Amino acid sequence: MKMQSASPSWLPPNAAAHGFAMDHLMRWNLAVLGLCFLIAHALLFILLLRRSKSSTGSPVPRSWMVQVVPIVLFAAIYLTMAITAERLWASKRFEGAAPQSMQVEVTGRQFQWYFRYPGTDATFGRLDPSLIQPANGNPLGINPADEHGKDDIVASELVLPVGREVDLTLRAQDVIHGLFIPAMRLKQNAVPGQLLHVHFTPVAEGTYPIVCSQVCGLGHARMQARLRVIGAGEFKAWLASKEAAR
Amino acid sequence: MPATFTRTPAHEVERKDTGIGGRPPVDKRPTGGGGGDENWDRHGHGRGGPRELITRYRMALIFGLSGDLMFFIAIVSIFFARQATGHFDARNDYVMDWRPIYLPSILFINTAIMLVSSLTMEIARQQLFRETDVMDEWLGIGRPMSRRATPWLLATIALGLLFLGGQWIAWEQLSEAGVFFSGNPASHFFYLITGAHGAHLLLGLVALGAAIAGVYWLKRVEYRQILVDCTAWYWHSMGVLWF
Amino acid sequence: MSWLRRHVFTTNHRSVGLLYLALVAIAVAIGVVLSLLMRIHLAWPALCFPGWGVMKPEDYLALVTIHGTLMVFFVLTIGPQNAFPSLILPGQIGAKGMAFPALNAVSLWMTALSLFVLLAAFLVPMGAPISGWTSYPPLSAIAAAGPGQALGMDCWLLSLAIFAVGQIFGAINILATIIDTRVKGMTLGRMPLTVWSWLISSTLVLPAFSVLLAALVLLFCDRHLATSFFVPLGDAVAGHVIRYGDGSPLLWLHLFWFFGHPEVYIAILPGMGLASSLFANFSRRPVVGYKLMATMTVAIGLLGFLVWGHHMFVSGMNPYAGTAFGLTTMAIAIPSTIEVLSWMGTLWAGSKRRGGLILKTPMLFALGFLSFFIAGGLTGPILAQPALDIYLHNTFFVVAHFHLIMAMAGAFSLFAGVYYWFPLITGRRMNETLGRFHFWFTLIGAYGTFFPMHLQGLAGKPRHYADLTGPAASLLPNLLPSERGITFSALLLAASQTFFLVNLIWSALRGLKADANPWQATTLEWRPSSEEELKLIRHGPYEYDVAWTESDFIPQWAEGGDQE
């Protein structure tokens, strides 16, 4: 089911739960600032073209209203923007994902995204960078000695069931990459040496592009992937087929 | 009080202001006008009196040192931040690769040398500012201030060289103990900071050499003073930084 | 030999200033060519450049990197912060030259050397670096991470290290000059706002470039001395795993942006000061709220040190830090808005005179500066909000923002300075008609180039993309027409500069002779040199709209005056 979202027209349609609030915020920010831009330039044009008849202009009115009101107005605008935005930020970032959210690990490497599912044991296997061998089917360096790694599913596309919160763990093998899923209004750098978490809930089925947003070398523009959001039943079937193929 | 406007003179004047190049009204009041600003000591370029040049060079040194200080502050704060970072790596192991370095004892001797050298430097600097000697030298009668300063300058150089030698020995001791630059982060910082400090000290020694040479070769007394003075403050700062 | 000494190794502040401007000209010409190559590739990705072939992705990234580095450092820093102070500052404060003329020359030659080293990056094996002007490690720390990251990256590092030291020397010089060599009577409260802006921006240079230098040194150690300040343990690049040390790439981000944000204020504050002076001059009105403007300049400078994290909202930084930086960044919008309102006030007062605002070319460019400042500045509050920056970070929305506020506003302030002070330096006036053409075509070209980029960014187009293929192509299906439109505007923008070049050269050789103070300005640099040595000033910097004199202003060097 595709939900109608009132995104500003240039943004791709939103498909994430938190995206509606973000789009709303974006819309009124753009509207207010766009209006300020137009008013300011209209004023500039008026001042540019004005020719007074009298020979001496009167000085800037000393009335405190003219001097103080604009800045108070702007300060109020900025304050409102700051508060609304911080609220949204806090709601998304200050708390971690819900405990029952699905865990997927995203690994960026030059120039490919890998997505790892923990499998039936719900635990990710240990990784060893010296075991990384993409040509031999082990692009993440999963340690074969580790039991938990045996049922991990590694895919090059991100497949998610609709309506369920997912907690992504971001890793990078070599340089800083940026995971950007525009339709999910999501961006987070993957930094080598760190495990970073972001969570979101996809609410509309479809196929969405994933692009890399942090320059990572000559293949930066090619480092793309797809997010497929499918129904819960389809997702189960997909997982099963991946496990069987392993 | 600073202002963007000055009001009309209280009294009438016969000569009108004709704009640029014309004759402005003459200000006949006794105080010389513009009585609100606070900088009558500011005599402008070239007329600041005997302290002018040295103030300027000292100011330049202060600005330069503050930039330099910022450089060291950045590295030192990274040092402290790094000391505190341990984290879980990709293998779910706790990684804390900080191994504090045990400082060789020679570094404490070096600290003492640094202190003494600051003392000798300061004495050398003071010699250049004794009024009677300065006057004699300025008049061309002998060089009492230079003569008094020189042995102290030489002593400072000797101590500086000793200090650098001590640093070298410290580095050798550490490498014999197996602590190399590339060993672990603590050693990175140690070598980096002491290396940068040492490089600055070498510059200081060169400046000292120039100061001794200048004391005999520079014609203007002020310049001699400036050179030694600035070198002295630089040297003191290096000492403080070493702490 | 003496010709070399007089014209090349000079310590005369005007000559040094002109040589700095020459460096700016070289850098901007190369920077513009690089950007046009990028734009042409974006509009026609399969185009085969004669003698070069189709542009490879690493070529594109190398162009981006050097374009950014050239423009930010060699045009927008040395122009407002080195060239114009050297030319104009001593005159504006009644001094004979800079406080340390030899140091001024040393900075100049260090800057020239650093430009040379940077450009050499194109000629070394494997070419120029591809990590952007921000050079995040590990991409910039490991030579194997990409083409150009070996020798090319080293050239970049060396160039910026030399540049940083040169800037620090320059700032020392400006600070000493402003603090120590002002003529008697020029209190802080009587300094023109340009001098205030140089004072503050130089104060910013000292800590900012020192921290950059520290970061560069650490990166150098990581690259060549097997340390790991920025490279984590187990980093696996091109099949090789790093086994020593455990650094953090985030450390570089903090260091670099601690420098990087004050850097953009260093680039723009002098332009803001110049705008204030020009608005006053050509409105024939004093600056509205002089004390407030000076205070706001100081405020922007100080606050500028507290906002660096807004470049790092998605970097993996603690979200609480994100909140804090979002708030400080929003706070800095206030002094900037106050400055804009004051400018509007001055302009409004000026528009009420008979004849309105005097629309000579310097004034047009100052108005253009204001327009771009508003356009670019208004998108700042959006980017300051972490929740929105999540989407917009590293998209073309950001590119539009900084090109409008920094590149265009900064460039317009440089143009305004050149047109304004041309009579002072050469004794001739530049042609007004050519100036007008230059202004309008550049304005239109600039808005045509950068405004659509906002929309591209909203559509999700990421930065540093040589072309849009793969899933990204489905994301951004309609962008090719806008790419073409932007490229045509960019070509128009570049072509419009011929008006300026022709005007500059022709006027320098054959322009109309100018009077001593052709703009009827109050500031000290316009004082006729035929008068005897200035010993004392008694007036403020912007005494326009003075009714009781025959001319409508009192220049700062006039005698007479009163206690306040």
The pLDDT tens digits for B203-224 are 777 777 777 776 666 555 555 5
For chain A, the 3-state helix, strand and coil shares in percent, each to the nearest 5, are 35, 25, 35
**From CA A93, how far away is CA C387, in angstroms rounded?**
9
pLDDT of residue B154: 77
Contacts of B191 (CB under 8 A, 6+ apart): B171, B181
**From CA B99, how far away is CA C185, in angstroms rounded?**
59
pLDDT of residue C541: 87
Cβ of B56 and C176 within 8 Å?
A: yes
pLDDT of residue B221: 54
Is pLDDT of C301 > 70? Answer: yes
With b meaning 16 or more CB within 10 Å and e meaning fewer, what string describes B3-18? bbbbeebeeeeeeebe
* B90, closest residue in chain A (CA to CA): A127
pLDDT of residue C492: 95
Task: Among A86, A175, A213, A224, pick the best mutation site for testing chain C contact (most C Cβ within 10 A).
Answer: A175
Is pLDDT of C446 > 80? Answer: yes
DSSP element (H, E) containing C30: helix C13-43
CA atoms within 13 A on the CB side of B180: 8
**A/C interface, count of CB pairs below 8 Å:** 297
The identity of residue C123, as a single letter, is L
pLDDT of residue B12: 40
A201: left (phi over 0), alpha (psi -120 to 50) or beta: beta
**From CA B81, how far away is CA B62, in angstroms rounded?**
28
pLDDT band at C369 (very low <50, low <70, confident <90, very high): very high
**From CA C370, how far away is CA C381, in angstroms rounded?**
17
Cβ of A129 and C234 within 8 Å?
A: yes
Is pLDDT of B119 > 80? Answer: no
Is pLDDT of A150 > 60? Answer: yes
User: C15-526 falls under which CATH superfamily?
Assistant: Cytochrome c oxidase-like, subunit I domain (1.20.210.10)
First to last CA, chain B: 43
pLDDT band at C490 (very low <50, low <70, confident <90, very high): very high
Query: Coil, strand, or helix at residue B88?
Result: strand
Q: How does pLDDT run across A206-232, given as a tens digit for each residue? A: 999 999 999 999 899 889 999 999 999
Contacts of B16 in chain C (CB under 8 A): 549-550
**From CA A178, how far away is CA A175, in angstroms rounded?**
10
Average pLDDT of the residues in C394-405 = 95
Rg of chain B on CA atoms, in Å:
27
Contact A151, A121 (CB under 8 A): yes
pLDDT of residue B161: 79
Cβ of C559 and B55 within 8 Å?
A: no
How many percent of chain C have pLDDT more than 90? 62
The identity of residue C496, as a single letter, is S
pLDDT of residue B215: 65
pLDDT of residue B85: 58
pLDDT band at B44 (very low <50, low <70, confident <90, very high): very low
Average pLDDT of the residues in C492-514 = 93
How many percent of chain C have pLDDT more than 70? 98
Average pLDDT of the residues in C16-36 = 95
Neighbours of A145 (CB within 10 A): 11
In chain B, residues 150-209 whose CB comes closer than 8 Å to chain C:
181-182, 184-185, 188, 192, 196
Query: Coil, strand, or helix at residue C187?
Result: coil
Higher pLDDT, A233 or A64: A233
This prediction has a pTM of: 0.86
- CB proximity C209 to B under 8 Å: yes
Contacts of C371 in chain A (CB under 8 A): 41, 44
Cβ of C367 and A186 within 8 Å?
A: no
- CB proximity B102 to C under 8 Å: no
pLDDT band at C81 (very low <50, low <70, confident <90, very high): very high
For chain C, the 3-state helix, strand and coil shares in percent, each to the nearest 5, are 65, 5, 30
Is pLDDT of C549 > 50? Answer: yes
* B26, closest residue in chain C (CA to CA): C560
In chain C, residues 492-511 whose CB comes closer than 8 Å to chain A:
none
pLDDT of residue A152: 87
Task: Among B85, B91, B97, pick the best mutation site for testing chain A contact (most A Cβ within 10 A).
Answer: B91
- Chains near B with 3+ CB pairs less than 8 A apart are A, C
- CB proximity A197 to C under 8 Å: no
- CB proximity B36 to C under 8 Å: yes
ipTM value: 0.91
Neighbours of B94 (CB within 10 A): 9
Average pLDDT of the residues in B173-198 = 67
Task: Among C329, C352, C396, pick the best mutation site for testing chain A contact (most A Cβ within 10 A).
Answer: C352
- CB proximity C229 to B under 8 Å: yes
Q: Measure Cα distances from C244 to C229, C248, C347, C423 in Å.
A: 11, 13, 61, 61
The fold adopted by the segment(s) B50-242 is Four Helix Bundle (Hemerythrin (Met), subunit A) (1.20.120)
Is pLDDT of B90 > 50? Answer: no
- Give me chain C's average pLDDT, please: 90
CATH architecture of A102-244: Sandwich (2.60)
**From CA C226, how far away is CA C143, in angstroms rounded?**
12
**From CA C444, how far away is CA C436, in angstroms rounded?**
12
Cβ of A171 and B90 within 8 Å?
A: yes
Cβ of B91 and A128 within 8 Å?
A: yes
Rounded to 5°, angle at Cα C380 from C378 and C385: 125
Average pLDDT of the residues in A75-96 = 87
- CB proximity C247 to B under 8 Å: yes
Contact C493, C449 (CB under 8 A): yes
- CB proximity C545 to A under 8 Å: yes
Contacts of A209 (CB under 8 A, 6+ apart): A181, A182, A183, A224, A225, A226, A227, C470, C471, C472, C474, C475
Per DSSP, A14 falls in state P
B19: left (phi over 0), alpha (psi -120 to 50) or beta: left
C98: left (phi over 0), alpha (psi -120 to 50) or beta: beta
Is pLDDT of B27 > 70? Answer: no
Of A22, A78, A226, the CB nearest to C388: A22
Per DSSP, B22 falls in state S
Contacts of B74 in chain C (CB under 8 A): 210-211, 214-215, 255
Q: How far from chain centre, in Å, is Cα C286?
A: 26
Contacts of A224 in chain C (CB under 8 A): 470-472
**From CA C548, how far away is CA C71, in angstroms rounded?**
47
- CB proximity B90 to A under 8 Å: yes
Rounded to 5°, angle at Cα A85 from A80 and A86: 100
Q: How does pLDDT run across C88-134, given as a tens digit for each residue? A: 999 999 888 888 898 999 999 999 999 999 999 999 888 889 999 99
Among the ranges given (B155-164, C68-77, C275-284, C310-319), the one the predictor scored with the smallest mean pLDDT: B155-164
Contacts of A128 in chain B (CB under 8 A): 91
Kindly report whether the peptide bond that precedes residue C412 is cis, defined as omega within 30 degrees of 0.
no
- Domain residue spans of chain B: 50-242
pLDDT of residue B103: 62
Higher pLDDT, B16 or A103: A103
Per DSSP, C405 falls in state I
- Give me chain B's average pLDDT, please: 63
Contacts of B92 in chain A (CB under 8 A): 126
- Domain residue spans of chain C: 15-526
Per DSSP, A181 falls in state E
Cβ of B8 and C548 within 8 Å?
A: yes
Average pLDDT of the residues in A176-183 = 94
The identity of residue B156, as a single letter, is T
**From CA C458, how far away is CA C398, in angstroms rounded?**
10
**From CA C235, how far away is CA C242, in angstroms rounded?**
5
Q: How far from chain centre, in Å, is Cα C191?
A: 22
Contact C307, C329 (CB under 8 A): yes
Query: Coil, strand, or helix at residue B37?
Result: coil
Task: Among B45, B70, B83, B98, pick the best mutation site for testing chain C contact (most C Cβ within 10 A).
Answer: B45
Rounded to 5°, angle at Cα C205 from C200 and C207: 110
Task: Among C248, C282, C391, pick the best mutation site for testing chain A contact (most A Cβ within 10 A).
Answer: C391
pLDDT of residue B225: 62
